[in-house]
Amino acid sequence: MPSPEHPVDPKAVPPPAHPLEPLSPVEIRSVVELVRQSGRISGKARFIVVTLHEPPKKDVLEFRPGAALDREASVVLLDNADGATYEAVVSLNRREIRHWKHVPGAQPSITLDEFFECEEALKKDPGFQAALRKRGVTNFDLVMVDPWSEGNYGLPGDVSGLRLTRALTWMRSESGDNGYARPVEALVAVVDLNRMRVHRIEDHEVIPLPPEAGNYSRKYIKEFRADLKPIEVVQSRGPSFVVEGTQIRWQKWKLRIGFTPREGLVIHQVTYDDAGRERPVLYRASLCDMVVPYGDPHPYHFRKNAFDCGEFGIGLFADSLALGCDCLGEIRYFDAHLATSRGEVYTIKNAICLHEEDYGILWKHMDWRTNETEVRRNRRLVVSFIATVGNYEYGFYWYFQQDGQIQFEVKLTGIMHTGALRPGESRPYGRMVAPQLYAPNHQHIFNVRLDMMVDGMNNSIYEVHNESDPLGPGNPHGNAFRSRATLLRTESQAQQLVDPLAARTWRIVNNARLNRLGDPVAYRLVPGDNVRCFLHESSTVMKRAAFMRRHLWVTPYHPDERYATGDYPNQHPGGAGLAAYVRDDRPIEDTNLVLWYTMGANHVPRPEDWPVMPVVHIGFMLKPDGFFERNPALDVPPATPGHCCDGDKG
């Protein structure tokens, strides 16, 4: 409640409709102003993060429309003057800093501003220019610099306390062509981002630039195939969803969307209306980190392993879909409001896309005696965003289906990370994709944090797999197999790998709610394609991203445990995040469960992935498993022949 010394200024902060609404531009400006006015930072401080400080779960669940809200922001600051990192919680209602902490040794994520400033500074650096001249480069306007994260290998330079980035370089052959076709191999400029100047140049050897262009944009394609006729998705009466602020209602689903600089799209408070009863499934879901470890041990390549959420902030790199969206039909966009490191409002127009799509058939049966056919179209609600992180694109899609399924999918595309080799050379750690152009093997490993709420707050989790019965009197013909469920009682028991050969899934149950068959209601986590991480257990990257060691982790909810790699993975030596969260091996029975699902896309490059990579899909599903009494999609109306599920035929 506001105190008499700190009255609420009603004009300062327009009231949001819900406690989970992301900060508005006005709120972001107020936060920046309050931090500046506090006099606690120098003029050289950067705002690394300005985002909603989510209220306690209890307050959110008990919130009723119109009730007063205590709006707070989480802020991370970096003072370039002395390299110190600060965390703050700013109360917008009280217009005060409620919490302030210096975080010794923390190196916050690299901001978008630093990307641009680093490139600019490097191009002017005489040592960097000299290294490029050695390679015949004289036009520095065509130089592209991508600041990769430095990582931490426990080597002498890694414990300097400096804020470093490894700037890798490519050469365009003309303005607007694909520079990633010409990597400047074996040259790394390590830049001190606090001073924004070169810390050291690592010049391993001079390798010629690959000879070929690798262009894909329309201006370079001489002839397009001519036999394509249009497919048009028409929703003449508009979409079936309703949007109120950041809440979306679609058929029986209700959910809320949020957006943070680190995670991008966040899905909040997912419920399903089951015959008038609003039944929760998820409290909060997001991609909480990802790592792309590269598999080449060469001195130039071994440090490549980008943590795109934790070291950079994938939300900051979200595309404005105003510039091109891959969705068809009636689309509703949402803007994302973030802050630049200089404390200005940074709005990504149309960052989140909401639409419906036809997804084949939902269910079908023909009674072959009567020739009566019943078939329903599967329509799903899609909430997505796409991030461009340097050379790569990641599309993140949440799908909600009429049969109660939730699916998460990542679409990987964009341009592969490349290296150059001498004519005739190759390497066992990657693939040649064009003459003298090499793409190293790598994996894209994602961790999705799922704060579950299956029909209520307290859930338990079972590992479920199939087993064949032994041959014997009970199984004389060798056909008997069963599904076996094992309760996972502690965090250590819940550290699991996928096992597709045993059809392993995980069942999240609510023991306080039984279905009509007497079983606890449940949702099932069903893995999609997955792979193990091929880094050695003892590697520093594995220590820094311990989530890669297992596909499933389960923890009891704790408000401070939000990221699989910890709060500050940039240049961190390892041991934070999940590795630390599970250290006490806490019990996980009948409590608020958080699932951390790891999934990996293994990328051994193909020539066909060059110059721009056709989309690769990876994901998982949450399927109702005794949550409903029967197929909940019997009431989906039949489609009119030749049309997609119009419901009524009016």
Catalytic residues: 308, 392
**Cβ distance to Cu ion smaller for residue 93 or 441:** 441
State the residue for tokens 């190293």.
440
CB 566, min distance to Cu ion, A = 25
Q: Does 603 bind Cu ion (CB under 5 A)?
A: yes
CB 443, min distance to Cu ion, A = 8
Q: Does 135 bind Cu ion (CB under 5 A)?
A: no
**Cβ distance to Cu ion smaller for residue 395 or 404:** 395
**Cβ distance to Cu ion smaller for residue 339 or 410:** 410
CA torsion, points 342, 348, 349, 351, in degrees to nearest 10?
-170
**Cβ distance to Cu ion smaller for residue 170 or 250:** 170
CB 116, min distance to Cu ion, A = 25
**Cβ distance to Cu ion smaller for residue 380 or 603:** 603
- Beta-sheet pairing, 460-468 with 520-527: unpaired
Q: With CB under 5 A as the contact rule, which of the stretches 35-43, 358-366, 394-402, 602-610 interacts with Cu ion?
A: 602-610
Q: DSSP characters for 456-487?
A: SS-BEEEEEEEEEPPSBTTBTTS--EEEEEEE
SS3 316: helix
Question: Does residue 257 contact residue 266 with C-beta atoms inside 8 Å?
Answer: yes
Q: How far is CA 327 from the centre of its chain?
A: 19
Q: With CB under 5 A as the contact rule, which of the stretches 83-91, 268-276, 316-324, 598-606 interacts with Cu ion?
A: 598-606
CB 417, min distance to Cu ion, A = 8
CB 414, min distance to Cu ion, A = 9
AA identity, residue 41? I
Specify the DSSP element, H or E, that contains 274: strand 264-274
Tell me which residue has its CB nearest to Cu ion.
603
Q: 396-435: b or e for each residue (b if 16 or more CB lie within 10 Å)?
A: bbbbbbbbbbbbbbbbbbbbbbbbbbeeeeebebbbbbbe
Q: How many CB atoms lie within 10 A of CB 308?
A: 25
Number of residues that bind Cu ion (CB under 5 A): 1
Q: With CB under 5 A as the contact rule, which of the stretches 234-242, 314-322, 584-592, 599-607 interacts with Cu ion?
A: 599-607
Q: What is the DSSP letter of 204?
A: -
Q: DSSP characters for 318-384?
A: B--GGG-----SS-EEEEEEEE-TTS-EEEEEEEEEEEEEEEEEEEEEEETTTTEEEEEEEEEEEEE
**Cβ distance to Cu ion smaller for residue 196 or 616:** 616
Secondary structure tally for the chain: helices H, strands E: 6, 30
Identify the bridge partners of residue 387 per DSSP, sorted by sequence position.
Answer: 318, 394
d(CA 540, CA 518) in angstroms, rounded, equals 48
**Cβ distance to Cu ion smaller for residue 524 or 603:** 603
CB 441, min distance to Cu ion, A = 9
**Cβ distance to Cu ion smaller for residue 431 or 603:** 603
CB 601, min distance to Cu ion, A = 7
SS3 311: helix
Q: DSSP characters for 233-248?
A: ---TT--SEEEETTEE
Question: Does residue 463 contact residue 446 with C-beta atoms inside 8 Å?
Answer: no
Q: Residue 186: which residues within 8 A CB-CB, separation 6 or more? A: 203, 204, 205, 206, 207, 300
CB 249, min distance to Cu ion, A = 37
CB 445, min distance to Cu ion, A = 11
d(CA 521, CA 274) in angstroms, rounded, equals 13
**Cβ distance to Cu ion smaller for residue 255 or 412:** 412
**Cβ distance to Cu ion smaller for residue 551 or 603:** 603
Question: Does residue 277 contact residue 632 with C-beta atoms inside 8 Å?
Answer: no
Q: Does 417 bind Cu ion (CB under 5 A)?
A: no
d(CA 364, CA 631) in angstroms, rounded, equals 12
**Cβ distance to Cu ion smaller for residue 186 or 601:** 601
Question: Does residue 504 contact residue 464 with C-beta atoms inside 8 Å?
Answer: yes
Report the chain's terminal Cα–Cα distance, integer Å: 53
CB 390, min distance to Cu ion, A = 12
- Beta-sheet pairing, 442-452 with 460-468: unpaired
SS3 416: coil
Cα distances (Å, whole numbers) of residue 350 to 320, 327, 337: 5, 12, 10
Radius of gyration for the alpha carbons in the chain, expressed in angstroms and rounded: 26
Question: Does residue 35 contact residue 90 with C-beta atoms inside 8 Å?
Answer: yes
CB 598, min distance to Cu ion, A = 16
- Residues lying near Cu ion in the complex (CB under 5 A): 603
